[in-house]
Chains A and B, each alone.
Chain A
Amino acid sequence: MKIVVCVKQVPDSAAKVVVENGKVSWGDAPLVINPWDEYAVEAALRQKEALGGSVTAITIGGEGSKDALKHALAMGADDAILISDPALVNMDTQATAQVLAAAIQKIGGVDMAFFGRQALDGDAGLVPAQTARLLGWPALTLSSVIKVDGGSVKVERGIEEGRQIVTAKLPAVFSLTKDFGEPRYPSFMGIRKASRAAIPTWSLAELGIPAPVSVIAWPEIMNPPSREVTCEVISGGSPQEIAEALADKILAEKVL
């Protein structure tokens, strides 16, 4: 089974993210592998463990993005590729998908491509389905259970109403949700291996595609309006009296 997992480097979820002088800042918070992508790496590794084969982690970005690849390697991925090119900046999701689809095709013979459900920074959640569409592969997004049987796969996908059970033929694209199961921690040996790993860099020329054209622009990024609330603390009396007073306050808001 030839498996690819696509990852991204993002600010830690505990970061306080603000706009300062028109630029997004996350202070001194660390950049980490996108938390959703850890589930994708976990899913990729479990498929490899069950079926044999290899796991290749790929990302798009600068030198710093190698850290996300090293995290995947430390978890157990076999190798990693950094896709880096000065033209690959401010990409929208369909441009990102074009690059990833080209990389998956260049790797060749891929059976399964795994993604996190969305990136914690842009929050779009479009790249997995868009990459699948470009490859002409089934998009098995929001999967929480994956069972491969020969050349086909059965997944359970999270939908608003519960789960949808779908079968499809491989190759296919998968995006993972948190209820797939906890991602493993990098092992000590894994971290040592990752720190020594040679990570090749592919440019657009090596991918053999022109620079993708982004059509979405971001003219302004803002801090959200601050919430002007002062908390009215309900106190005094028995729990029953407090509850009565609180219920009256909530009802007086006329939103129930």
Chain B
Amino acid sequence: MSVMKRVSMIFRAKANKALDRMEDPRETLDYSYQTQLELLQKVRRGVADVATSRKRVELQMNSLELSSNKLDKQARDALSAGREDLAREALSRKSGVQGQLADLNTQYTSLQGEEEKLTTASQRLQAKVDAFRTKKETIKATYTAAEAQTRINEAFTGISEEMGDVGMAIQRAEDKTAQMQARAGAIDELMASGALDDVVSGPRDDIQAELDRMGASHDVDSELARMKSELSQGSAPRQLEGSAGPADGQPTQAAQPADHQAGEGQ
């Protein structure tokens, strides 16, 4: 049999089962309305849960983005210092971080979709619950039990179908959120263990340590060169006029030849 008809029959059967349990529909209306309000609460909580998950993924994406930028800068620093090996290491870590980022991005989009769907579902259910309440009050005020039965059937089946649909949406969102949380937890653990984090900050950042060490020795070299040139300037200032580099704080490469020249002049 047709897929669309079978699905609708299954929804219908659920509604009929509930209708059969009703003795005086007017009394059961209030009970049903109560259930609808509970489902409305549930779908709203669902929206909030998905939003929380989405924000968590967003935070993780931000910190991975920072890692990636930092590794990129480290690679550049390493390259300009002539350390291709370090640059290569930084870039390979960056590519790992980028992989995680791409994965998180997919999750983020999926959560965003789930959030939108649940939000719309919650608005639709709200509108139907309001309509049901109005109908329920009219029926309770106007009709006998027997009349109410027929009057309520359609509305009840209609809202029951919506509730089944929303219930499914909540279930799916919960499953997705649970999956996301497991993955987000795994990334948090990775970060805590240092596998991702150690490239980012703190004393465990070996690339940065190497760059810092190189930077420091570079500074010492240029400082030395500057001092030497100052000293030689003091003794023979006129000889250095044509090569004023070192006094301007030029890099070591520029300072060294000047230094050499000054030495020769003596």
Q: Do A and B come from one complex?
A: no
Hey, which bits of chain A sit against chain B, CB under 8 A? none
Point out residues on B near A: beta carbons under 8 Å. Answer: none
